[in-house]
Amino acid sequence: MNVYQTKQIRNVAVLGHGGCGKTTMIEAMAYITGVTNRMGKVVDGNTISDFDKEENRRQFSIGTSVVPIEYNGIKYNFLDTPGYFDFVGEVEEALSVAACAVIVINAKAGVEVGTQKAWDLCNKFNLPRVFFVTNMDDDNASYKNIVAHLQVLYGAKIAPFHLPIRENEKFVGFVNVVNMKGRRFTEKSQYEECPIPDYSMENLEKIREALMEAIAETNEEYMDRYFSGEEFTYDEIRYALRMNVRSGDMVPVLVGTGINGNGCQMLLEILDMYYPGPDENFISGTNTKTGEGFTADYNDQKPFSARVYKTLVDPFIGKYSMIKVCSGVLKPDTTVLNVNKDTEEKIGRLYVLRGKEAIEVSELRAGDLGAIAKLSVTTTGDSLATKEVPIQYEKTELSVPYTYMAYRAKNKGDEDKIASALGKLMEEDQTLRSVNDKENRQLLLYGIGEQQLEVVVSKLMNRYKVEIELSRPKVAFRETIRGKVKVQGKHKKQSGGHGQYGDVTIEFEPSGDLEKPYVFEEKIVGGVVPKNYFPAVEKGIQEMVVKGPLAGYPIVGLKATLVFGSYHPVDSSEMAFKLATILAVKAAFADPASKPVLLEPIASLQVKVPDKFTGDIMGDLNKRRGRVLGMNPDHSGNQIVEADVPMSELFGYNTDLRSMTGGIGSYSYSFSRYEQAPADVQAKEIAARAAEND
């Protein structure tokens, strides 16, 4: 592959709803530009983008893959992203290195939830975008309805650059609204000029007028000329559109088909004409040696620096650190500094990845995307630079995983293999986390959604030959008392020689502070318990608060006051007083007067949904024993519902929320506090723990 200068590079993320045709569109581009000599198909599992076995089996994208395409002296690095919401971390990684985005819409399905989420992600990363309406050859395709829907959602920003031309109910070409010319498809996405059909003129004039009005608003001179009826030149139109498109004030809508590549050539040309290369973008980091800011701005004359935006770990093709060069030039057989780890890494060969194919290159220039094999300490988010000028870039903020399940090895002895395999999967997917919940003696697997966790189970089995079982996770309850009791604990044992004797009377009551396990005081008068045994009494309490008598959960909010006791001058010992105290704690929790209870964790939940779904959301939260605290508009047609909900009731919430809102709803939560669980929940949990211990 040729080495491209910074201004000849376009980094383009391809977004859209799952199954809308993103991978097929990229495959068509690869075919029409000569990258491949035959079109791969998703159903056949032979596309460039979807090379993972799991993707082939499920027939949708799971990870982001890069497909560089060369056309008319420009290198387009297309980042094919997953459309299913569970893999949003992959999309965010792609958007962090893209300069623009193509949002694909299936003409048959129309504007879907994934289309809107793609728009929101482009807003988050401040990227200019273009809509590509594919599948226009479908009998049920309605370009007019799609444009109208987009204009309802996003207003005057939506600018149709194309109008479809149909003959005998077949999609044969399009009208270029910008230069007012008809285009008829010939072969391999090529086209020739043709007359504009009469039936297109009425709609065409309206769209053209809206475009001219938008152009007129770019400066006062154009506005004066527009109102005086003067026409703009083609160059003036292109320049003004370019400014509007790059600023995000205008979003073009194009037409085409994926399976035969119609319209793909025009998309490539528009990405070159209207969208920025890396040399027109900005990026800055921090020189960790001096503490000063470093303006990289994809200048290849500055010292080398890069950031690792994704890691690919495959048992067959190896580990690749996928990088975007932020400044300077990277060449093979050099040594660079991993700034985050403060460790030098030896660079061997340099590659450009095209799907799973690693193409060796002689250098990577600023703004380009490439890959380095077998780096020892480098992980996703790390910055690479020279030792002399160590530049560190901010890590991309990815979506937080809130869905989790417990997991365990299906076969004994596989624990180490599973930990190693999960480590590799977590290197690839930064939204995947494994947590050891020591309190409940369980391993937890966190992800964005249940489908992502299912894919992890499948990858572990097929890729690494280990099996895990997912199950409902246990909830971390707490134990405490609500009443005040005075109890005695006596440990007495005689078995020849020195015996054991410890006797304590302790008052137990709520401390009022659930953040602390216990508070210990003593009010001994007359030395009935010697001072040297006070630490042993506290140690007994320390041991008991780790695993309470009710259901084996930690005790919190307990105040213990040692008020009386007795000792034996020969048989008493620290161990005897510690054991006596343990008996006292058990006696306190067994006494109904202490009102022992289980406390359950409460989450502070925020649910973001369009206005029309708020009733359903609040009704569902009530079923989950939640307390709705209020609603706040986000000024984008959504409401943020705030509620307190028991953590145990949030299991499966991700799936239920998507079902209620058609996938558009999102949520987040954080631990808030502990509250007394209802009597039925307590009884059920205590019985379950007893059965488990048996």
Q: State the Cα–Cα distance between residues 344 and 347, nearest whole angstrom.
A: 10
Which among 280, 315, 294, 319 has a CA at the least distance from the CA of 383? 294
Residues of the chain whose pLDDT is less than 50?
A: none
- DSSP letter at 572 equals B
Question: Within 13 A of 320's CA, how many CA atoms are on the CB side?
Answer: 25
In the block, residue with structure tokens 């800055």:
284
The pLDDT value given to residue 496: 64
Q: What pLDDT score was predicted for residue 482?
A: 96
Rounded CA gap, 396 and 181, in Å?
43
Rg (CA), the chain: 33
pLDDT of amino acid 196: 92
Measured from the Cβ of residue 192, the count of other Cβ atoms closer than 10 Å reads 10
Give the number of other Cβ atoms within 10 Å of residue 131's Cβ. 27
How does pLDDT run across 226-271, given as a tens digit for each residue? 888 888 888 888 888 999 999 998 999 999 998 888 999 999 999 9
Residue 41's pLDDT is 86
Task: Tell whether domain 403-420+432-471 is in CATH 3.30.70.870.
Answer: yes
- Quote the pTM value: 0.89
Q: Could you say which of 3.90.550.10, 3.60.60.10, 2.30.30.100, 3.40.50.300 is the CATH number of the domain covering 6-275?
A: 3.40.50.300
Q: What is the pLDDT of residue 201?
A: 87
Q: In terms of DSSP bridges, do strands 329-330 and 364-365 run parallel, antiparallel, or are they unpaired? A: antiparallel
Q: Please choose, from the candidates 677, 558, 13, 66, the residue with its C-alpha nearest in 3D space to the C-alpha of residue 359.
A: 66
Domain ranges of the chain: 6-275, 284-392, 403-420+432-471, 479-594, 599-692
SS3 (DSSP) at 512: coil
CATH number of the domain at 599-692, please?
3.30.70.240
In the numeric block, which tokens belong to residue 688? 């379950």
Q: Do domains 6-275 and 599-692 have the same CATH topology?
A: no
CA dihedral 216, 220, 222, 223 (to 10 degrees): 50
Interacting residues of 308 by C-beta distance below 8 A, sequence separation 6+:
321, 322, 323, 378, 379, 380, 381, 382, 383, 384
pLDDT tens digit string along 656-678? 999 999 999 999 999 999 999 99
Kindly tell me the sign of the dihedral angle through the C-alpha atoms of 251, 255, 257, 262: negative
**CATH number given to 479-594:** 3.30.230.10
Q: Spell out the residues 6+ positions from residue 665 whose beta carbon is closer than 8 angstroms to its own.
A: 607, 608, 609, 613, 617, 657, 658
Residue length, the chain? 694
578: exposed, middle or buried (Cβ count in 10 Å: 0-12, 13-18, 19+): buried
**Domain covering 284-392 assigned CATH 2.40.30.10 in the classification:** yes
CA of residue 159 relative to chain centroid, distance: 31
